[in-house]
Amino acid sequence: MHPPLHPPALKTRSPLDPDDWEGFREQLRAAADRLVDHVRDQRHWPVWQEMPDAVADRLLDPVTEAGAGAGRAWELLEDTILPYGVGNLHPRFMGWVHGAGTPGGLMAALAEAAINANLGGRNTGAARVERAVIDWTRRLFDFPERSSGILTSGTSMATVIALASARQAQADWDVEAEGLGAEGARFRLYTSEAAHSCVETAMRLLGFGKRAVRRVPTDDRGRMLTDGLHAAIRADRDAGLRPFAVVGTAGTVDIGAVDDLQAIADIADAENLWFHVDGAFGALLRLSPRLRERVDGIERADSIAFDFHKWLHVTYDCGCALIREESAHRAAFHGRPRYLEGQAEGLAAGDPWFCDYGPELSRGFRALRVWFLLVEHGTDALAEAIEGSVERAAHLAERVDAEPLLERVAPAALNIVCFRVLPLEGEDADALNVKVVAELQRRGIAAPSTTRIAGRVVIRCCLMNHRATRADMDVTVDGVLRIVEELRR
């Protein structure tokens, strides 16, 4: 390491740096103390509390010309913002698909702010960290060395990047110059009825439109019917259309079904389709020696989109796109203007620049949060956290099955349990189940979310949280029963 070029005592003045650095150090220490308590004590708080309108309406009141200082800003944050999080740190948060974060994430986030790196490109230690994280990911999925990747805000953005690479690889015209044109209008992509909406969103953004997405029916376990996939491809070819990609899902958002990725890879090979896997959370089953076979075939994908912020609990936000053929990835996004020209040495050296791999030029240092988590915990503990979720789902499913008042409405093969409260004669079943979920959340007991299965509203518990226990599952079921009893009084 080089010694500092200037003596540290050099007096400087910036309108945005503190006059009193020692005072600031104390404020930061106090804030860090409070944040450690905040993470440690989650279990003792309600899962969720709604921010009162009176608080929300006053958030801008302290913004003045003179500024209130870091101490006052922190006090306000502590009083008016800290208590009103999403709830996902709490062991009984089970809504949507949320990671819980880790205490170590505090350290990484602090260092991220101090380093304040812009990861669009350049020859920086930060860029080397992101490349190292991508390398770890590449090895996790047994992807070849020539593959490439980029960290993203989440799986939605990773899907856009992956399908842009697919478009690039499959177009036999100059798609960069001409756009989709008449040929592109004939492209079709296949995915299951249970696939996440981000696939359709990506297809809309890439100019294909929703109609280019063929939804293939699923079996009774929620997995894409491969016969149906074959039939849809055949029908489209007969109609003069051009199948170009298939998206398999490792962990569907509603029930956690994993498509038969080997069978889909075989079809993709035979039909010359780009094979993309949406593994938003399920891809990381790969870390568990006990569960990894469930995603067999993922290593054959042309691209994978998944999240570090879900089942690996990296602090929001952090997803990843991994692309087997770097050339397709780069071709989809390359093209730097003059002022971003790379050089052989100095700060403008280094390759790749991440702006060559996605639409964003300015990007934060998400990689640091991933790197820190991997170093801190190691892969065994991360696998254990994933396996724990699956075990708790089995326990919750058993509890639900034992209650005559409740009906489980889908297999609970992974980490998601969907069930509903059975209605009494004349009761509106959907309204009842919506109300039960809202009451669980409002009372701070637990925070499942809802979805619809076969058109009916159901209670959906997605177990991700590494702090949760079997007892939390029991508290949740007991809470449901108590609320139903009260509602029916």
Binding site for ligand PLP (CB under 6 A): 97, 154-156, 196, 198, 249, 251, 253, 278, 280-281, 307, 319
Amino acid at 399: R
In this complex, which beta carbon is closest to ligand PLP, that of residue 462 or of residue 484?
462
**What does the alpha-carbon distance between residue 256 and residue 382 come to, in Å, rounded to a whole number?**
19
Q: Cβ 280 to ligand PLP, closest distance in Å?
A: 3
**What does the alpha-carbon distance between residue 190 and residue 246 come to, in Å, rounded to a whole number?**
5
Q: Cβ 440 to ligand PLP, closest distance in Å?
A: 20
Query: Coil, strand or helix: which one is 300?
Result: helix
Residue 144, judged by CB atoms within 10 A of its CB (0-12, 13-18, 19+), counts as exposed
**What does the alpha-carbon distance between residue 479 and residue 223 come to, in Å, rounded to a whole number?**
32
Q: Cβ 370 to ligand PLP, closest distance in Å?
A: 14
Residue 464, judged by CB atoms within 10 A of its CB (0-12, 13-18, 19+), counts as buried
Phi, psi angle pair for 141, to nearest 5°: -100, 10
Q: Cβ 466 to ligand PLP, closest distance in Å?
A: 17
Length of the chain: 489
Q: Is 121 in contact with 353 (CB distance < 8 Å)?
A: yes
Please enumerate in sequence order all residues whose Cβ is within 8 A of that of 249, keeping only pairs 6 or more positions apart, or say none.
Answer: 191, 192, 194, 195, 196, 224, 257, 258, 259, 277, 278, 279, 282
In this complex, which beta carbon is closest to ligand PLP, that of residue 214 or of residue 399?
214
In this complex, which beta carbon is closest to ligand PLP, that of residue 175 or of residue 202?
202
**What does the alpha-carbon distance between residue 293 and residue 413 come to, in Å, rounded to a whole number?**
14
Q: Cβ 254 to ligand PLP, closest distance in Å?
A: 9
Instruction: Tell me whether the omega of the peptide bond preceding residue 317 falls within 30 degrees of 0, making it cis.
Output: yes
Q: Cβ 213 to ligand PLP, closest distance in Å?
A: 14
Q: Cβ 198 to ligand PLP, closest distance in Å?
A: 5
Structure tokens at 184: 């592109």
Q: Cβ 314 to ligand PLP, closest distance in Å?
A: 11
In this complex, which beta carbon is closest to ligand PLP, that of residue 200 or of residue 356?
200
In this complex, which beta carbon is closest to ligand PLP, that of residue 102 or of residue 156?
156
**What does the alpha-carbon distance between residue 111 and residue 107 come to, in Å, rounded to a whole number?**
6
Residue of 136, 137, 173, 180 whose CA lies nearest to 158: 137
Query: How much of the chain is in helix, strand and coil states, percent to nearest 5?
Result: 45, 15, 40
In this complex, which beta carbon is closest to ligand PLP, that of residue 154 or of residue 448?
154
Q: Is 416 in contact with 473 (CB distance < 8 Å)?
A: no
Q: Cβ 342 to ligand PLP, closest distance in Å?
A: 30
In this complex, which beta carbon is closest to ligand PLP, that of residue 307 or of residue 356?
307
Which residue has its beta carbon closest to ligand PLP? 154
**What does the alpha-carbon distance between residue 106 and residue 382 come to, in Å, rounded to a whole number?**
18
**What does the alpha-carbon distance between residue 406 and residue 394 come to, in Å, rounded to a whole number?**
16
In this complex, which beta carbon is closest to ligand PLP, that of residue 196 or of residue 460?
196
Q: Cβ 160 to ligand PLP, closest distance in Å?
A: 10
In this complex, which beta carbon is closest to ligand PLP, that of residue 105 or of residue 319?
319
Q: Cβ 98 to ligand PLP, closest distance in Å?
A: 8
In this complex, which beta carbon is closest to ligand PLP, that of residue 27 or of residue 88?
88
Amino acid at 300: R
Q: Cβ 152 to ligand PLP, closest distance in Å?
A: 8
Amino acid at 32: A
In this complex, which beta carbon is closest to ligand PLP, that of residue 208 or of residue 281?
281
- For the chain, the distance separating the N- and C-terminal CA atoms, rounded to the nearest angstrom, is 71
Q: Cβ 250 to ligand PLP, closest distance in Å?
A: 8
* Angle, alpha carbons 180-201-185 (nearest 5°): 20
Give the distance from CA 415 to its chain's centroid.
Answer: 15
Alpha helices in 221-320 (DSSP H): 226-238, 261-271
**What does the alpha-carbon distance between residue 76 and residue 443 come to, in Å, rounded to a whole number?**
25
In this complex, which beta carbon is closest to ligand PLP, that of residue 27 or of residue 191?
191
Q: Is 325 in contact with 147 (CB distance < 8 Å)?
A: yes
In this complex, which beta carbon is closest to ligand PLP, that of residue 130 or of residue 278?
278
